[in-house]
Amino acid sequence: MPSRSVQPPIEQPIALCYVRQSLTRHANDMDSPDRQRANIQAICDRKGYMPEWYQDTEGHKSGRFESNRPAWLLLKERIGAPGVVAIIANDLSRFHRKLSRLSDLLDACEEHHMELILAAPGRDLDTSTPMGHTIAQFMALQDEGYSIDISVRAVDTASYRRKIGKLNGQMPFGTMRDADGYMIRDNEGAWLLADGRWLTGTRDEPPEGGVLWRSYFRCARRMLILYAYRDIGYEKVAYRLNRTGWLFRDREGTPRLITGDDVRRVVANWPEFGGIILPKTPGKSKSKNRSSRLGTEGLIFNPTRAVMSIRLLVRVGNALKRRAIDRPDHGIIKEARTYPLNHITQCVHCEQLAATQDNPALRSTLSGSNQNGRLRYRHKGGVVCGCTNRSVPAAVYEADFGRLLRLLTIAPDKLSLMTELAIQMEKGQAAFEHDADLEQEKQEGVALCQRRIDAAVHLYGDGRISREEYLRRVEHNEREIAHWESRTTDTQKAAMELALCVNAINQITRVWELGDDENKQSLVKAFFTSVSYDLDTRRITDFKLKPWADRFLVLRANLYEGENPTTSAENENAPALIGMEQGVPQVSQNSNHKLSLLKWLRTAA
């Protein structure tokens, strides 16, 4: 049977959909983002728009600023792009809590003839009219004033708490708040179970199968003892504690292995352990103000509020001062540098260990490091997972990742073939027949509505119906025509979705070759969920794309199946479709569809 040619897809208007949550405390704190997405999706369904999602919901994402919102910066680059007709958010404050920036956004929408739509019920606002524009600016002024007022109150509250000896924010490891809000020793810890798992609990209430108890407070105290009396660094302290079964607790309360950064944070909190709440230097964070903590001169400990031995804390402070003299850069935060693959790269040995023990907390990511000008991606310090090498040069890893990106790119003329693969993979030949039926039904429905409009014109001209009835009939049929035209076949939907994926990966590849590190990092996080890397062999062993791009990956991998791996993987003509039977591409059902891409990646290296 001859191959069915895929018709060029009817361009469906694209809406840039933005979701923001000011502060996400933990992974399950997603009620607000889910509600925003539901409201926005309802708008897209009603207007026939294809949603293109951008979401800032990790950590603190203030609407007063833009630099800490990578998804919003990506969305701004799409304003004015072909096919983009609207920007949608739940309400104006999701875009900005600053009048000047919202005014710029309104001007950009007007310049590119785009709608600015608010999805929350009762927030309908036509910003294209002078009145709607004015109302939007007034609402933005209120949002900015509200944000500033909340900030002033928070600063005043934090200042008052410091004056009365209460610590703001996250409590140091090994401590907790009492009923009055003051720091006391943490009574929790981790129990080692008979099956090798760790479980949080208290010493007085051991879980079933508990064989070993490790207190969080005693773990923090042991960190300080090793640092002050053994004269060893943060990572060596972490290695010693991990070997003897001590554990750290993350922000969500899950026990995990100790890293060098964990030890550094505990050591930096030595004044708080002695009941001292240092004043915050205006404009500086706690970590950048760490140099003022070196030494104990002028510090007056509060024995009634201290949770650890004053003698030990004095020893820690003096050790910090001595090391600062020996190493002038000790404890000083170096100038920040952006690493494109920072915190998205997972150690494959840690993943295997986590899978073996069924403990996701054992996973760890590589982070960028600059040691005397040598840029590297380093394993978490103090964590023992079985790998021999602890780092890889940034140039080596990033070059390997660049080759992977080039393997994922495809030429635009291959889109029709990939679309046929997508339809065949999901529904088989019946999908093409369904497309033909839907297209014929659409044409008949539009023609019927047009005949009804023509009939209404003649009836109104002959005086048989009133003008109100004429307008009602015309409006009803025009809405029905718009409904029919917005309906797309499965083939057209697949082509549009794949076109977005192709455009995204091609854009990432261009930015990877020509852009700066910040843009590289933003685009990589928008397309990739994770990358698994083996430090010993210096190879990418696996990767995961965002859920919306999974089908693209399967189809792209099928283009490589059956190819000769000795052919250069960077040759654009090397990959070809497999198993052509009477002109119809056959989809490989290999569950390990990434293996072919990784095989070509090894060949390219």
Neighbours of 259 (CB within 10 A): 20
Neighbours of 586 (CB within 10 A): 14
| Predicted confidence (pLDDT) at residue 289 exceeds the cutoff of 60 | no
**∠ Cα 446 447 453 (to 5°):** 90
Query: What is the rounded (10 degree) CA torsion for 513, 518, 524, 529?
Result: 160
Q: Which residue has the higher pLDDT, 399 or 586?
A: 399
Asked if residue 333 lies in contact with residue 291, where contact means CB atoms within 8 angstroms, the answer is: no
Neighbours of 285 (CB within 10 A): 10
Amino acid found at 171: M
Amino acid found at 266: V
The kind and range of the H/E element at 202 are strand 198-202
Q: What is the pLDDT of residue 516?
A: 81
Q: How far is CA 549 from CA 419, 530, 555, 556, 575, in A?
A: 14, 13, 10, 11, 20
Give 247: exposed, middle or buried? Use CB within 10 Å, 0-12, 13-18, 19+: buried
Asked if residue 257 lies in contact with residue 241, where contact means CB atoms within 8 angstroms, the answer is: no
Rounded distance, CA 583 to CA 420, Å?
A: 11
> Residue 17: CB partners within 8 Å, gap ≥ 6?
37, 40, 41, 44, 51, 52, 53, 54, 88, 89
Of 102, 94, 2, which is closest to residue 39 (Cα–Cα)? 94
pLDDT in tens, 363-401: 888 888 887 778 889 888 777 788 888 889 988 998 888
What is the C-alpha end-to-end distance of the chain, expressed in Å? 41
Amino acid found at 481: I
At 342, is the secondary structure helix, strand, or coil? coil
Of 246, 298, 253, 249, which is closest to residue 271 (Cα–Cα)? 298
Q: 603 is written with which tokens?
A: 């060949």
Q: What backbone torsions phi and psi does residue 530 show, to the nearest 5 degrees?
A: -160, 160
**At 576, is the pLDDT very low, low, confident or very high (cuts 50, 70, 90)?**
very low
Instruction: List helix spans (H) across 48-69.
Output: none
Q: What backbone torsions phi and psi does residue 176 show, to the nearest 5 degrees?
A: -150, 175
Rounded distance, CA 430 to CA 436, Å?
A: 10
Q: What is the pLDDT of residue 2?
A: 39
Strand partners, 115: 86
The region that residue 14 occupies, defined by phi over 0 for left and psi between -120 and 50 for alpha, beta otherwise, is beta
Q: What is the pLDDT of residue 216?
A: 93
Q: 187 is written with which tokens?
A: 């009574």
Pairing mode of beta strands 528-534, 345-347:
parallel
Mean of per-residue pLDDT scores for the chain: 77
Q: What is the pLDDT of residue 123?
A: 79
Instruction: List helix spans (H) across 515-587.
Output: 517-527, 550-558
Q: What is the pLDDT of residue 175?
A: 92
Sheet holding 374-378, edge to edge: 367-371, 374-378, 391-393
Q: What is the pLDDT of residue 492?
A: 54
Rounded distance, CA 86 to CA 48, Å?
A: 12
The region that residue 122 occupies, defined by phi over 0 for left and psi between -120 and 50 for alpha, beta otherwise, is left
| Predicted confidence (pLDDT) at residue 19 exceeds the cutoff of 60 | yes
Compute and round to an integer the Cα radius of gyration of the chain: 30
pLDDT in tens, 477-517: 887 777 666 555 455 555 555 666 666 677 777 778 777 88
Rounded distance, CA 36 to CA 94, Å?
A: 10
DSSP assigned state of 279: P
Indicate the range of 2-6, 68-72, 262-266 predicted with least confidence.
2-6
Rounded distance, CA 171 to CA 168, Å?
A: 8
Rounded distance, CA 374 to CA 393, Å?
A: 8
Asked if residue 569 lies in contact with residue 603, where contact means CB atoms within 8 angstroms, the answer is: yes
| Predicted confidence (pLDDT) at residue 225 exceeds the cutoff of 90 | yes
pLDDT in tens, 409-444: 765 555 555 555 555 544 444 444 455 566 677 778
| Predicted confidence (pLDDT) at residue 574 exceeds the cutoff of 50 | no
Amino acid found at 501: C
Pairing mode of beta strands 84-89, 115-118:
parallel
Asked if residue 383 lies in contact with residue 238, where contact means CB atoms within 8 angstroms, the answer is: yes
| Predicted confidence (pLDDT) at residue 94 exceeds the cutoff of 80 | yes
What percent of the chain shows pLDDT beyond 90? 11
| Predicted confidence (pLDDT) at residue 327 exceeds the cutoff of 60 | yes
What percent of the chain shows pLDDT beyond 70? 74
Of 407, 406, 401, 403, which is closest to residue 532 (Cα–Cα)? 401
pLDDT in tens, 127-137: 877 787 788 88
Of 79, 145, 142, 72, which is closest to residue 106 (Cα–Cα)? 79
| Predicted confidence (pLDDT) at residue 351 exceeds the cutoff of 80 | yes
Q: What is the pLDDT of residue 3?
A: 40
